[in-house]
Amino acid sequence: MRTIDDLQVAGHRVLVRSDLNVPLDRSGDTPRITDDGRVRASVPTIAALLDRGARVIVTSHLGRPKGEPDPKYSLEPVAARLSELLGRPVAFAGDGTGDIAGARAHEVVAGLGDGEVALLENLRFTPGETSKDAVTRASFADALSALAEFYVGDAFGAVHRAHASVVDVPKRLPHAAGRLVLTELDVLRRLSADPARPYAVVLGGSKVSDKLGVIRALLPKVDALLVGGGMCFTFLAALGYGVGGSLLESEMIDTCKALLAEGGDRIVLPTDIVVADRFAADAQTAVVAADGIADGWLGLDIGPESTALFAGRLAGAATVFWNGPMGVFELAPFAAGTRGVAEAIAAGDGFSVVGGGDSAAAVRTLGIPEDAFSHISTGGGASLEYLEGKTLPGLAALDV
* Residue of 2, 172, 190, 207 marked catalytic: 207
Q: Is residue 350 flagged as an active site residue?
A: no
Greatest CA separation for the chain: 67
To the query of whether residue 38 is one of the catalytic residues in this protein, the response is yes
Burial label for 373, CB within 10 Å (0-12, 13-18, 19+), is buried
Tell me whether residue 357 is one of the annotated catalytic residues: yes
Which residue among the candidates 98, 204, 337, 381 is catalytic per the annotation?
A: 381
207 a catalytic residue: yes
User: Which one is catalytic: 13, 17, 38, 55?
Assistant: 38
Q: Single out the catalytic residue among 357, 379, 380, 394.
A: 357
Helix 336-347 and helix 304-314, axial crossing angle in degrees, nearest 10: 20
- Taking CA atoms, 85 is separated from 23, 36, 82, 375, in Å, by 17, 10, 5, 20
As a whole number of angstroms, the distance between CA 226 and CA 373 comes to: 18
Question: What whole-number distance in Å separates Cα of residue 115 and Cα of residue 49?
Answer: 8
What is the distance between the alpha carbons of residues 238 and 241, in angstroms, rounded to a whole number? 7
Which residues have a catalytic role annotated?
38, 207, 357, 381
